[in-house]
Amino acid sequence: MYEPIRTSSSRGSAHTTMAGTPSDFPHRSREEELDIQLAAHLAALLAVTDELRAAAASADLDSAAARLAQQVTRLRGGRTPVRSTLAAGPAGPHLDTLHERAHALAGRALLVAASRADTASAILAAQRMDAHAAALVEKQELSTAG
């Protein structure tokens, strides 16, 4: 009923172009892709941490920002992350939004760090998740008590 295909596939292999010559674009390993993803998540978390520091400075946020910057620098091969210098803004509901965003970013970083088996980044991300969750719970307790 069906006749077998007697010609080679017209698609070619994954590493050749349509003309059959090897492709000249770089290929990254899984580990390199995970490094890029982890650095991006940690850099985004650093940006939100800097926003929180501008709105409500604390020693914990200063320490977290320094540790995040160190991890991003390590993952990017020595290139330091761009840091924002924000003016102090009003506290309030804006802080809740920042803590929620930071908690989500730390969760994403934790997932990538775990799949990459990067213990230092995983511990840092888990600590930041705990800190932001605690800040949200504390804020809710203060608002229901008042």
71-124 confidence digits (pLDDT tens): 999 999 999 888 877 666 655 568 899 999 999 999 999 999 999 999 999 999
* Mean pLDDT score of the chain: 84
What CA–CA distances, in Å, run from 52 to 40, 70, 114, 120, 131? Answer: 18, 18, 26, 23, 12
- pTM of this structure: 0.76
What are the tokens at 23? 């492709």
Where are the chain's structural domains?
30-81+90-145
The whole-angstrom separation of Cα 124 and Cα 64 is 8
Helices (H) and strands (E) in the chain, counts: 4, 0
User: Is the separation of the CB atoms in 42 and 68 below 8 Å?
Assistant: yes
